[in-house]
């Protein structure tokens, strides 16, 4: 039996081995009886409002997960629809979607009966029944559309073999049993048809604001495109606002998914183009195509972002996101990520995002501010790093200059890195002390990014600091990863949505370049292999030539932790507030 140890979130009672063994066999017996009775026809709870969140687990749509969150009971209630049940199913959670060290609920058949239990896998992927049964079966019923399983799971269980359900991304995993097995331990996980789905399980419990009577809608959708027969496609489509479209406030947006494509449309974003250009070319095609006009790269201002499992996004009653009118581009770019692992051919799609807007402007314009690191190669991550940390600062000097005396209110956030990002957190600090977490994702994935409503509004006042920290994994890379716009380069960004809108659009930092130059000199002095610091050699090339021994790694970490920083405190006009260089907090 696994040892009983305290959970990360709370102290847990200890049990003697005999008590644990007794509880283990009692719980297993109870769970087996519950399922055998349930499969004979106990009615599942009503769907709809009881389970407001829904996501397909597999690309074929054979497994559909719905859930709700009970914060008073600190538990998640699941409803799993299995459209074509064979001999069983594994469903659960793991750190990053792997089947090793996973926390699972297992439904299986042995040819005589059906069984349900809480299990876990070890580091080799071997399945074990858990001594503490924390997936509680609530009911099961066969229906024309398939088998419904209802079960619940507490956020925290005090079981060291269980996954701790936290805010942020959760990697859900599943495996389908095609043949009966004599026992749970006989299940060969490596032989299963299996996969993963990323969701935000712990949705904030926020009341829906009242919508105005003059609200109108506008759908920005793909024009009946044929989804390419490849696993991953980013599709770009240009749309325009009507001529003479005056200033309006976006007050809500939601996804519009073509029926039957729910498992293929992974995430979508609508970007507004830069107002400095009078026109943008029409385009409808892959975002990485050589035929895509370069000017579309100037369509970067996010209006809406949706990912699988996300519900409609509502702005607070007193604020809306302005679009249209003077100083606002008429041109919008829709970007859709299609995930087609089965390489389905000929599937057409007209998915997109529905914007709900009003001409009756609300009290405040909402704004979007970039926090984190400047897009610059001076911030780099050595290769073969398991968890390398970089931090960007929105300093007290910047907020003192740029924010109104009454401050701003952050109500939503979108975290962003490229492929090496693993964790992102933004912290609010006041008078040198950490006050509260603005947004954090300890299981962050660059493949699952959406704008998330915060559980509570965060007030930021002049003189406060906003500190954004990103953790990266480069174990599969052989050379340094520098900051930049390329997908193999890195970013560390939190796009915070707030009101009232200010002139401050970007509040970021990077290490002072002069101190990085001193680092390169130090590397030359203490290493046999010389790093060229010639003026014609770029900073990325200098990083690429470094021999990444322990000394060079540790000194770079110290540089990023303690060297002075260059602060970018930028207005929307791209001019800067006069802040200059600063010491790290």
DSSP string, 482-507: EBSSSTTSB--EEEEEEES--SEEEE
For 29, half-sphere exposure in the C-beta direction (CA atoms, 13 angstrom radius) is 6
pLDDT at residue 17, rounded to an integer? 35
Site of tokens 């507490």: 154
Q: How confident is the model at residue 262 (pLDDT cuts 50, 70, 90)?
A: confident
- Residue 314 annotated as catalytic: no
3-state secondary structure string across 405-447: CCCEEEEEEEEECCCCEEEEEEEEEECCEEEEEEEEECCCCCC
pLDDT at 135 over 60: yes
Mean pLDDT of 29-46: 44
**Torsion region of 493: left, alpha or beta (phi above 0 gives left; psi -120 to 50 gives alpha):** beta
Mean pLDDT of 352-372: 94
Strand, coil or helix: 575? coil
User: Which segments within 164-317 are labelled E, that is strand?
Assistant: 170-177, 193-199, 216-221, 225-226, 232-240, 248-256, 265-273, 284-286, 299-307, 313-314
Q: Which CATH class is domain 215-362?
A: mainly beta
pLDDT at 526 over 80: no
**How many residues are recorded in the chain?**
585
CB atoms within 10 A of CB 514: 11
Cα dihedral 509/333/413/196 (nearest 10)? -110
Is residue 432 within 8 A of residue 481, CB to CB? The reply is no
- Which of 78-82, 112-116, 252-256 shows the lowest per-residue confidence on average (mean pLDDT)? 112-116
pLDDT at 254 over 80: yes
Is residue 243 within 8 A of residue 367, CB to CB? The reply is no
pLDDT at 7 over 90: no
Strand, coil or helix: 17? helix
Q: Write down the mean pLDDT value for the chain.
A: 87
Strand partners, 393: 467
pLDDT at residue 232, rounded to an integer? 85
Task: For domain 53-199, give the CATH number.
Answer: 2.60.40.1210
Which residues have C-beta within 8 Å of that of residue 246, sequence separation ≥ 6? Answer: 324, 325, 359
Q: How confident is the model at residue 149 (pLDDT cuts 50, 70, 90)?
A: very high
pLDDT at residue 2, rounded to an integer? 33
The DSSP line for 62-80 is -EEEEEEEETTTTEEEEEE
Strand, coil or helix: 468? strand
Strand, coil or helix: 362? coil
> Which residue of the set 416, 418, 443, 568 is catalytic?
416
- Residue 416 annotated as catalytic: yes
- Which residues belong to CATH 2.60.120.310 in the chain? 215-362
pLDDT at 34 over 70: no
Q: Which two tokens stand for residue 20?
A: 């644990």
> Which residue of the set 24, 234, 298, 544 is catalytic?
234
Is residue 415 within 8 A of residue 491, CB to CB? The reply is no
Angle, vertex CA 162, rays to CA 125 and CA 447, nearest 5: 70
Higher pLDDT, residue 292 or 583: 292
pLDDT at residue 85, rounded to an integer? 87
pLDDT at 336 over 70: yes
pLDDT at 32 over 60: no
- Which of 200-204, 377-381, 526-530 shows the lowest per-residue confidence on average (mean pLDDT)? 526-530
pLDDT at residue 6, rounded to an integer? 32
Its sign, for the CA torsion 199, 201, 206, 209, is positive
Query: If you ran DSSP here, which 8-state letter would residue 207 be given?
Result: P
Q: Which two tokens stand for residue 229?
A: 């027969």
Q: pLDDT digits over 97-111, tens only? A: 999 999 999 999 988
What are the φ/ψ torsions at residue 525 (nearest 5 degrees)? -70, -35
pLDDT at residue 522, rounded to an integer? 87
Which residues have C-beta within 8 Å of that of residue 492, sequence separation ≥ 6? Answer: 372, 373, 379, 390, 391, 392, 417, 421, 424, 468, 469, 470, 483
Angle, vertex CA 485, rays to CA 199 and CA 423, nearest 5: 35
The rounded distance, in Å, linking the Cα atoms of 580 and 565 is 9
Task: For domain 370-571, give the CATH number.
Answer: 2.60.120.230
pLDDT at residue 523, rounded to an integer? 86
Q: Which two tokens stand for residue 292?
A: 């895509």
Strand partners, 90: 106, 175
Q: pLDDT digits over 387-442, tens only? A: 999 999 999 999 999 999 999 999 999 898 988 999 999 999 999 999 999 999 99
Q: pLDDT digits over 451-483, tens only? A: 899 999 999 999 999 999 999 999 999 999 999
Its sign, for the CA torsion 355, 359, 363, 364, is positive
Across 460-476, b (16+ Cβ under 10 Å) vs e yields bebbbbbbbbbbbbbee
pTM of this prediction exceeds 0.85: no
The rounded distance, in Å, linking the Cα atoms of 470 and 380 is 12
Mean pLDDT of 164-192: 92
pLDDT at residue 113, rounded to an integer? 86
The rounded distance, in Å, linking the Cα atoms of 126 and 554 is 37
Is residue 326 within 8 A of residue 219, CB to CB? The reply is no
Is residue 233 within 8 A of residue 351, CB to CB? The reply is no
Is residue 267 within 8 A of residue 237, CB to CB? The reply is no
pLDDT at 31 over 80: no
For the chain, state the CA radius of gyration: 26
Q: Which two tokens stand for residue 80?
A: 């799993």
What percent of the chain clears pLDDT 90, i.e. is strictly above it? 65
Q: How confident is the model at residue 303 (pLDDT cuts 50, 70, 90)?
A: confident
Q: How confident is the model at residue 311 (pLDDT cuts 50, 70, 90)?
A: confident
Is residue 492 within 8 A of residue 372, CB to CB? The reply is yes
pLDDT at residue 310, rounded to an integer? 77
Higher pLDDT, residue 9 or 358: 358
pLDDT at 115 over 50: yes
Query: If you ran DSSP here, which 8-state letter would residue 3 be given?
Result: P
- Which residues belong to CATH 2.60.120.230 in the chain? 370-571
pLDDT at 170 over 90: yes
pLDDT at residue 528, rounded to an integer? 65
What percent of the chain clears pLDDT 70, i.e. is strictly above it? 88
CB atoms within 10 A of CB 400: 15
The rounded distance, in Å, linking the Cα atoms of 131 and 355 is 49
pLDDT at 496 over 80: yes
Its sign, for the CA torsion 490, 492, 498, 500, is negative
Mean pLDDT of 74-84: 94
Q: How confident is the model at residue 11 (pLDDT cuts 50, 70, 90)?
A: very low
Which residues have C-beta within 8 Å of that of residue 188, sequence separation ≥ 6? Answer: none
CB atoms within 10 A of CB 406: 10
Q: Where are the alpha helices (DSSP H) in 187-241?
A: none
For 407, half-sphere exposure in the C-beta direction (CA atoms, 13 angstrom radius) is 13
The rounded distance, in Å, linking the Cα atoms of 75 and 577 is 46
């Amino acid at each position: 039996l696994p040892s009983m140890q305290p959970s990360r979130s709370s102290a847990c009672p200890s049990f003697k081995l005999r008590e644990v063994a007794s509880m283990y066999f009692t719980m297993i017996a109870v769970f087996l009886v519950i399922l055998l009775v349930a499969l004979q026809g106990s009615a599942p709870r009503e769907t709809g409002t009881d389970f407001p969140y829904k996501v397909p687990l597999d690309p074929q749509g054979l497994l559909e997960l719905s859930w709700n969150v009970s914060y008073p009971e600190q538990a998640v209630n699941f409803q799993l629809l299995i459209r074509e049940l064979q001999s069983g199913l594994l469903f659960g959670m793991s750190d990053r979607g792997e089947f090793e060290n996973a926390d699972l609920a297992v439904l299986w058949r042995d040819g005589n009966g059906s069984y349900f239990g809480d299990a876990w896998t070890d580091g080799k992927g071997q399945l074990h029944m858990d001594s503490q049964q924390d997936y509680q079966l609530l009911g099961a019923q066969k229906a024309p559309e398939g088998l419904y399983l209802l079960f619940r799971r507490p956020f925290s269980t005090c079981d060291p073999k269980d996954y701790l359900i936290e805010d942020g991304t959760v990697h859900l995993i599943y495996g389908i049993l095609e043949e009966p097995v004599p026992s749970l331990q006989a299940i060969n996980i490596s032989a299963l048809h299996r996969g993963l789905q990323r969701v935000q399980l712990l949705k904030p419990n926020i009341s829906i604001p009242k919508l105005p009577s003059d609200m109108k809608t506008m759908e920005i959708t793909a024009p009946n495109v044929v989804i390419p027969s490849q696993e991953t496609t980013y599709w770009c489509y240009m749309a325009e606002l009507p001529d003479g479209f005056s200033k309006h406030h976006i007050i809500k947006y939601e996804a519009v998914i073509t029926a039957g494509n729910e498992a293929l449309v992974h995430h979508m974003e609508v970007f507004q183009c830069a107002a400095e250009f009078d026109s943008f070319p029409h385009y409808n095609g892959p975002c990485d195509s050589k035929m895509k006009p370069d000017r579309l790269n100037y369509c970067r201002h996010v209006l809406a972002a949706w990912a699988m499992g996300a519900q409609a996004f509502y702005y607070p009653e007193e604020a809306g996101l302005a679009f249209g009118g003077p100083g606002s581009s008429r041109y919008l770019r829709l970007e859709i990520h299609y995930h087609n692992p089965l390489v389905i051919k000929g599937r057409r799609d007209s998915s997109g995002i529905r914007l709900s807007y009003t001409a009756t402007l609300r009290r405040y314009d909402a704004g979007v501010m970039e926090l984190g690191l400047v897009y610059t190669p001076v911030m780099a991550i050595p290769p073969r790093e398991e968890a390398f940390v970089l931090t960007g600062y929105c300093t007290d000097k910047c907020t003192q200059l740029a924010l109104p005396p009454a401050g701003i209110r952050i109500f939503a956030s979108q975290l962003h890195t490229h492929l090496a990002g693993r964790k992102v957190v933004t912290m609010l600090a006041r008078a040198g002390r950490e006050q509260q977490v603005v947004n954090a994702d300890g299981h962050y994935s660059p493949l699952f990014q959406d704008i998330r409503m915060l559980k509570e509004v965060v007030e930021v006042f002049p003189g406060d600091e906003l500190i954004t920290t990103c953790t990266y994994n480069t174990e599969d890379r052989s050379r340094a990863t520098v900051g930049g716009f390329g997908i193999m380069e890195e970013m560390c960004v939190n796009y915070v949505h707030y009101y009232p809108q200010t002139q401050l659009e970007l509040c970021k930092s990077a290490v002072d370049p002069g101190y990085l130059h001193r680092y390169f000199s130090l590397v030359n002095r203490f290493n046999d292999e010389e790093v060229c610091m010639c003026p014609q050699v770029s900073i990325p090339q200098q990083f690429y030539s470094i021999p990444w021994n322990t000394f060079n790694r540790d000194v770079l970490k110290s540089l990023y932790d303690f060297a002075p920083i260059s602060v970018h405190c930028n207005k929307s006009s791209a001019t800067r507030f006069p802040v200059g260089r600063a010491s790290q907090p």
